[in-house]
Amino acid sequence: MKKPSAILSFKTLVHIAPIMMLAMALPAHAIMEEDAATKSSTKSIGTVSSADPRATAAGEFILRQGGSAADAAMAMMLALTVVEPQSSGIGGGGFLLHFEGDNGALTTIDGRETAPASAKDDLFLNENGEALGFVEAVLGGRSVGTPGNMRLMAKTHEKWGKLEWEALFAPALILAEEGFVVNEVLHSRLNRLARAWGAFPSAQKLYWRDGKPAPVGTLIKNPEMAKTLRILAKDGADAFYKGAIAENIVKTVQSGHPNKGELQLTDLASYKAIQRDAVCNSYHQYIICGMGPPSSGASTVLQILGQLERFNLGNIGAENPLSWHLIHESMRLAYADRAKYLADADFVSVPIQGLLDPYYLAERSNLIKVDSSMHSYDAGTPPGSAKRTSAEQREIPGTTHFVAADGDGNLVSMTSTIEGPFGSQLLSGGFFLNNELTDFTFVPEKDGAPVANHVQGGKRPLSSMSPTIVFDKNGMPILALGSAGGKRIIMHVAKTLIGVLDFGLPLDKAIALPNIYFARDAVQIESGTFLADKSDELSAYGRTVLTSNIGSKVNGAQFIDGKWVGFADPRSPGAAFNE
């Protein structure tokens, strides 16, 4: 039985009038009608997948108007600003991968937030030179970096957009003005932050009802965000970085109780989204590409896979604890290198080539034993590396991912974030400002050596966001995916890739495989899964095994039988549109 149209779902979920209202939301020229050729064509319009069905509906709507994959992705980014305010939005940043169907070009855009130019390496140190507590650092203006998503959107639309700029705002405007319904995920995040929000009356006013976090089913209208979106739709991304919106952001940050921030108008005015080279490496007969620094995603995912390549995981099998032991060991080694060497390559020499050097990967792989766990997991010394000190930085599980493919073979994989739930907790113009600066390592040096990811003015903090595209031996894309989850993002993506490329599973089954991570000396595995039932067998390799609720929010698409098919993580409320 054919599923109802996502457009119908979009109307039902947000309780709006028929979708023709979109034509009244903006000037008439902003909405492009499908021409007769499009209506009569049997060519697929494409697919979209996101972590919220209302954002997915926004992406579908844009595709149906004749929009490109880039257009659909940007409309989803804007819609998620409204319906998933705890995770991402225009007050944050993101990384985008774009594949062009007509010429095979792969482009990445870095829209990561930057530290204020005035920021010093003691930003997160107290008067005694000690690191602040993490929660103490997050709340308020100190943690806010210059948002990058609107510059990323402008660059994306300029390069690959087909619809008018204004048209991309229509679904988000409807959601902000007519309202959207609070779901279980948003309600749970509101409950989690309830104690902290005594200091944030603007957030309480919008998202609380009768002195409590808004219950499931509450209709939330956000007129301030609608006002912001209308300005941006009319005046472009410049209106975010100069003028009234920018002035309000700076005022909010600089007066942001309980921590005043340093963001200036000049930081916003000078911000640029950067086109960077993709980081790619081979795995079996595939080429896997992702985002380079300041993302640690591609290099760490590729290290995990490269160290596992000599083991025939396909023969060992998905349900064999040995596979998961090997995955765990490789994960630990790759994350150790991440903690020591990864940072913004515009400020620090990052040995990406050395980390992915085949001889170095073989050397690291040889540390992995099939019958026991290693005693410790130290960083290695890849070719071209400088003296650094291993130092972990905190990342709160948050963020969102979405993919879009159109009928012309164009493909987008984007991860977007404001960092932790509701970012800094500060609202400006109806949207939450990020707490991205807490992705820096708080201490500038350790054990007499510099920490790669320490705070510097204008620097972009290290990220685990891992938007990924996989190519077959003929150079054609076959898979696009990414996830939310803080530093676990890398592992969610790596596990899913192993599920498809090693275990031969379809993408939806690979996403549903048990999640795995680590906690100090223990292996963490997802409770309620077949692997949790085999925890005794896994612990026989020499590590304590903990079962816990390791959620994930993977969204992706797979090229199947000549067309793209989208999938969403069964652990999330996410949805995909497939024609």
Please say if the pLDDT value at position 18 is more than 60: no
- Residue 178 token pair: 């007519």
How confident is the model over 40-77, as pLDDT tens digits? 346 789 999 999 999 999 999 999 999 999 999 999 99
Give the model's confidence band at 135: pLDDT under 50 very low, under 70 low, under 90 confident, else very high.
confident
Please say if the pLDDT value at position 33 is more than 50: no
Please say if the pLDDT value at position 390 is more than 70: no
Please say if the pLDDT value at position 13 is more than 60: no
Please say if the pLDDT value at position 12 is more than 60: no
How confident is the model over 178-208, as pLDDT tens digits? 999 999 999 999 999 988 898 999 999 999 9
How confident is the model over 153-163, as pLDDT tens digits? 999 999 999 99
Other C-beta atoms closer than 10 Å to the C-beta of 414 total 32
Q: In CATH, what is the architecture of 275-395+462-578? A: 4-Layer Sandwich (3.60)
Task: Please give the mean pLDDT across all residues of the chain.
Answer: 91
* DSSP letters for 45-58: -EEEEESSHHHHHH
Domain boundaries, the chain: 275-395+462-578
Model pLDDT, residue 397: 67
- Residue 404 token pair: 């879009």
- Residue 464 token pair: 């685990």
399 is catalytic: yes
218, 228, 399, 438: the active-site residue: 399
pTM: predicted TM-score of the whole model, two decimal places: 0.92
How confident is the model over 532-565, as pLDDT tens digits? 999 999 999 999 999 999 999 999 999 999 999 9
b/e per residue, 522-556, with b = 16+ CB within 10 A?
ebbbbeebebbebbeebbebebebbbeebbbbbbb
CA distance 569 to 558: 14
Model pLDDT, residue 392: 64
CA distance 108 to 293: 11
CA distance 278 to 98: 10
